Amino acid sequence: MKIRLSTYPPHADIEQKIQSIKGVSSVEGDEKLKTIQFEIESKYEDDAAEIVQSAVKIVDENGGKVVTEKESFPVLNMTCAACASSTQNILWFVPGVLNASVNYGNGKGNIEYIPEITSPGEMKSALQEIGYDLLIEEREASIENLENIQEENYKKLLRQTIWAAALAIPLVVIGMFFMHMPFANIAMLVLATPILFIFGRRFFVGAWKQAKHCSANMDTLVALSTGIAYLFSVFNMIYPQFWEQRGLEAHVYFEAAGVIIAFILLGKLLEARAKGSTSNAIKKLMGLQPSSVTVFRDGTSVEIPIADVVIGDIVQVKPGDKIAVDGEVTEGTSFVDESIISGEPSHVEKRAGEKVCAGTSNQKGCFRFVATKVGKDTLLAHIIKTVDDAQGSKAPVQRLVDKIAGIFVPVVMAIAVLSFIIWLIFGGSNGFVYGLMAMVTVLVIACPCALGLATPTAIMVGIGKGAEEGILIKDAESLESAKQIDVVVLDKTGTITEGRPQVSAMYWSSDAQPPHKDILYSIEHSSEHPLAEAITAELQPSARLLNGVSVEQVSGKGIEGVYDGNRYFIGNQQFMASKNIAISGELNEKIVRELNAAHTIAIFADAKNAYGVVGITDALKPTSKEAIERLQKMDIEVAVYTGDNEKVASALAKELGVANFKGGVLPEDKANLVKALQQQGKKVAMVGDGINDSGALAQADVSIAMGKGSDIAMDVAKMTIISSDLLKIPQAIHLSRETVKTIRQNLFWAFIYNVIGIPIAAGVLYPVNGFLLNPMIAGAAMALSSVSVVTNSLRLRGKKI
């Protein structure tokens, strides 16, 4: 088997190390094509997946990078957590798959693979061999199509449950009250047979497919327990003399087998319905887009499907319409309800030049806008994808649960057999019958589903709840980690403040020249910094834009520009001091005045002297102080680190009631300050909105970006506050605490149910009080255990955060 990796850069050291992997016969690197090709000996082809994973690890550890793809696919036909573990293991053993994580809660698999070695089609084939399936076509895997499949499966399950219950009721009546009437056994056989082999066929088919691959899941437990009870009853009905010759009565257990199937089908039905409710957030978000939209093409209005809208189309919005795509208003005014995006119940006025987002609702006015983002690029599509991916991710605690679920079924089968043997040895004359029933009851009552659903259902509901509140959470780990936060570090501009700086004053020295204003305007015009926007807005009416100005931004310090061979600088006092620039007494006086007013200053200078000072103010957000007070009431320390001068930082901290603050902080310093807090044993959340915050966001335990900030900050951050309202931070932490509490409750009940239920089913109470658990009651308990876990998770939806 020949394997080729597209990697950069291939070099001899990597080739030698790959050559040392057991089973690799030859390695060849091609620097021009940027590939490494190696051959796996035929006798080691069964280990190909592990060999490829080892080769990729070598490439990564030696400065190379293998080209991979990451995709999420719906996985079908899973019936329990053991199925998720089984499908995950199968995918891991497909050569070329580097990472696979299957989530039973939302029925999806996140897979990283090397496209040159394997394909989604090969993964699909591998799963189909054992009775599962993978939806790999974009049309197949669409959320709409997946919902249709789930709806069809639900209807089929509903029909099976109704018929099974309809037959189980007379079956129980005969088995419990009329067992000695003529032909009672034949009547029960006639009723039980279709329950097991028509309406419960799925369990036996699933168990057989698992058995063919030496695997086991919940289907195995159900098929074994009900199959044993059914066959034992058939034997006793046909050949009762076997027991009667030994002085025992030949009991039949058709009612137990039938009722177990009926109860488990009912449990699966309730579970499917409850699981469907956990993804309500996604469904609600998807329902926000209209199916069609009115656009203007060639001067005439035409109604087209939303999928046909392209960038540049002029879209007409009437009162009550939902906005179809992202865009910018070109004419008209209205108020738009953006609550589904921001989590805020207020209506926002929209005029020409204002941005509108897909999924928001127009109120009474009419307007037109030009489409700027369509399809998968809209903010709404980004939110849906982020929520969908996050709901499919696994919390750290899930790793332990997955390991337990992976061995759960074999362990239960071993306990069931052990129970039978112990009863056979110590049970006396009824030992065989009691042992058989104990074995059946153990197989029935054991429930890997409750364990498998405990974490993912809570995560799905928690992340969905966050999205509804305008809190976009990227993965389960960050949702779980937020509970542990000790310190929240806040940036100033755009986080605590509005992020819309305004010039409070502008001073020029007596020796400033008329061109200096034009030079300052032209240099700031080339900068994307929020302060630059404020200065250019102030100067625009009186200054002109010069040609031939080159600009260099010095991160966190200021701007350098060159015009007509002369170098100019704009920045704070520290930046001027680093360039040995002289500041006159009259300008120093203005600087002190602005600093005492807690304003930010920007000084304009050439290579020798300062010529101007700009005072800039940025208003606090209305909710910033309340948000910080809430965090402090939650016993969370708040720190403010800003690039502004110390006086501004001090005045701001005093106003907000924050003791831990620092001014004059460069971008690289923010990351170091976060690291210093972590070294004190604290869990740190960093909240920022700018490019200069990205290093600190990456360093923090939990990173939170403001939705109106830079794309880089949002890419780095694990959470995004869409509305940029700081009040969402304590809400996010409270949501994390509630979600983790729900996970713990779920896991406790799932574990305690199995820890207590299995020994009772095995007959541990019989020597004490003669109690043996009826297999029918065990079936009902098993069915309700997973439903109770999902229902407990759904309680999160009603929690106020």
Catalytic residue positions, numbered? 491
The DSSP secondary structure of 281-327, one letter per residue, reads HHHHHHTTS-SEEEEEETTEEEEEEGGG--TT-EEEE-TTPBP-SEE
Angle of helix 646-656 versus helix 585-596 axis, rounded to 10: 20
Q: Which amino acid is at 416?
A: A
Q: Which two tokens stand for residue 518?
A: 């034009």
Chain-centroid distance of CA 22 in Å reads 37
Closest by CA to 639, choosing from 267, 649, 84, 138, is 649
* Distance in angstroms between the alpha carbons of the first and the last residue of the chain: 56
The label of the residue with tokens 């200065």 reads: 535
User: How many residues in total does the chain contain?
Assistant: 801
Contacts of 281 (CB under 8 A, 6+ apart): 387, 463, 464, 465, 467, 468
Q: Which two tokens stand for residue 576?
A: 């001027």
Residue 258's region, left for phi above 0, alpha for psi from -120 to 50, else beta, is alpha
Contacts of 429 (CB under 8 A, 6+ apart): 246, 247, 248
Q: How far apart are CA 528 and CA 544, in angstroms?
A: 18
Q: What sign does the CA torsion over 383, 533, 645, 727 have?
A: negative
DSSP element (H, E) containing 249: none
For residue 725, CA distances in Å to 189, 344, 502, 515, 621 come to 66, 9, 20, 41, 8
Q: What sign does the CA torsion over 729, 732, 736, 741 have?
A: positive
Closest by CA to 188, choosing from 204, 164, 167, is 167
Q: How far apart are CA 156 and CA 151, in angstroms?
A: 9
Q: How far apart are CA 479 and CA 720, in angstroms?
A: 12
